[in-house]
Amino acid sequence: MNEPDVEVVETDLLILGGGMAGCGAAWEAGYWARAHGLRTTLVEKAAVERSGAVAMGLSAINCYMGMRWGENQPEDFVRYVRQDLMGLCREDLVYDIARHVDSTVHMFEDWGLPFFKTEDGRYKREGRWQVMIHGESFKPLVAEAAKKAIGPENVYERIFVSHLLKDERTGRASGAVGFSVREHKIYVFKARAVISAAGGATGVFRPHAVGEGLGRIWYAPWNTGSAYALMIQAGAAMTQMEHRLVVTRFKDGYGPVGMWFLLFKGKVRNAYGELYEETQAAALDDFPPYGQGRPIPTPLRNHQMLLDLAQGRGPHYMRTDDALQALTQGMDPKAVREIEADAWEDFLDMTMSQALLWASNNIDPALRPSELTLTEPYLMGSHSSATGAWVSGPEDLARDGYFWGYNRMTTVPGLFAAGDGVGASAHKFSSGSYTEGRLAAKGAIAFIEDNGDRPSVDDGQVGTVIETLFQPYRVFEEFQGRSTKADVNPNYFYPKQGLMRLQKLMDEYVAGLGANFMTNEPTLLRGLELLGMLKEDMARVAARDRHELLRCWELWDRIRCAEAHARHVLYRQETRWPGYYYRGDYPKLDDENWRVFVNSRYDAASDQWSLETHPHHTVVD
């Protein structure tokens, strides 16, 4: 193997990830950094215009208060998130986003994002927190603003960042190392502060669609958990990594159901025409006080559907036909066509595969219902889930242990997080993640100004990382001739084979689909044992080209996320989120002992984890 070219980039603020959080960080940093004569650099493994969870587009912005019209206040949003997370969220972080998110949304409109409007000029609501948009061009719009803010010459695309760098003397974040997925080249970024704004993790668990359908999932398949893996390896404290997201979606196409539930008032009925919320209403009594609160938390709605299925009442159907017929009754044909166009745009803007699936199955949603299913688990911090780093909140909302100098800074000095990367702060979605990126950038620039020295970068540390990065190439080159067929070789395996092994392990031992989301301590311990073997075997993962090299390091990201998740699930001795996962040995919710955050730290040098609890503090009554 030829030695790669190495380019060193010196900057002040380094933003990792060009999704909504990363673009928000870049836009905000562009203002504050310029004022202080600082350079901001953004690194993205794809192209910023079509990267992240909003890559394909969106049909709604799901986090908007509407304070200019008196619709909601930040306190309302905190209560909503706390209820949906069944009592556990960082209320300071949630409040901080809620009080700033409206200005972000108004900015999107100023930039040209088309909104649905009511006759009196308000944004058209899909639900209490959601406003409808024509969002196919949403991501290109915010990408353009980010590039203009920091200068296109400071945006590095098609680079996969695999390792963070730290000053060995102070422990401060000092940069990152990555490799190009287009040329044989290494990039060493030296920085005074770093923001981890990459995506959450999909592909950790075995999905519904396998074989030729692999990759057909709901959340972005290219989000492999870099936001978490980078911070875990750096020794940052992580929180609520036992949390996960399992959501109801149209079967096989994974189309969104929000518009049908919220705007069209669609109902989900089982095979016998019953509403599972009614047939399984008594199940909510087992999880007070959250089962009695409204809205019903997302995991408890899943729990009701799972019980209905276990009793042989499936499959479940979204009655799109009934909803559209009820909504359009008595309307003239033109108005009916407008309603149907909105329904189709909901999918064409963000899940085109659902529209294709309907067409291929001869389903007109105006005439026939569509089957729903629960997805495989995902690890993310921006939806109805809250995995991520334990970060400092804003000083004015500080509670004991919630603030240590700079908003959104992790426990590693100079390392900040936003979007999926921040734990215990759910329901951010696109606008909230963008807002959190802005908050993180402002905090990071303040940190840089207060800490004028530049952290050191050890050349030996960089050299070790570079040597490690291309090990999969060397494995393939050394052993490819040891068998008559390169694809079958006892000396190595390809990243796709490793991914299948990880997904099988997580599915069977860490409460995946195949286990009906059930696990217990002996099962988890066996899973962790097998995961340890997989980590050992990763010394033999092989890459034939840059694409497979990327897949090798994405697999490492997923493995690190998987281990964090499994260890957290094992540590929390209760079933707090039934419908996301169940601890068969601790089947009840235990607010008395476990209404606390579970935090972890990983020590890369010793390959050891430490876990502890942290109290939950109420900010909003």
Task: Catalogue the active-site residues.
Answer: 62, 126, 218, 249, 346, 383, 430
Q: Which helix (H) or strand (E) holds 186?
A: strand 185-190
By the 8 A CB rule, do 11 and 40 touch?
A: yes
Strand partners, 123: 117
Please list the alpha-helical segments (H only) found in 234-275.
258
Query: In this structure, which long-range contacts are made by residues 72-78, counting pairs with CB atoms below 8 Å and at least 24 apart in sequence?
Result: 72/128, 72/129, 73/98, 74/98, 74/99, 74/620, 75/620, 77/129, 77/427, 78/619, 78/620
At which residue do the structure tokens 């260890």 appear? 567
Tokens coding 134: 């024509």
DSSP 293: S
Q: Which helix (H) or strand (E) holds 614?
A: strand 608-615
Tokens coding 580: 């996301």
Q: How far apart are CA 328 and CA 337, in angstroms?
A: 9
Q: Which helix (H) or strand (E) holds 104?
A: helix 91-111
- Give me the amino acid identity at 351: T
DSSP string, 385-448: ---EE-----GGG--TTS-SSSTTB-SSTTEEE-GGGBSS----HHHHHHHHHHHHHHHHHHHH
Residue 245 CB neighbours (<10 A): 26
Decide: helix, strand or coil at residue 472: helix
By the 8 A CB rule, do 247 and 579 touch?
A: no
**Helix (H), strand (E) counts: the chain:** 18, 21
Decide: helix, strand or coil at residue 257: coil
Q: How far apart are CA 451 and CA 407, in angstroms?
A: 15
DSSP 60: E
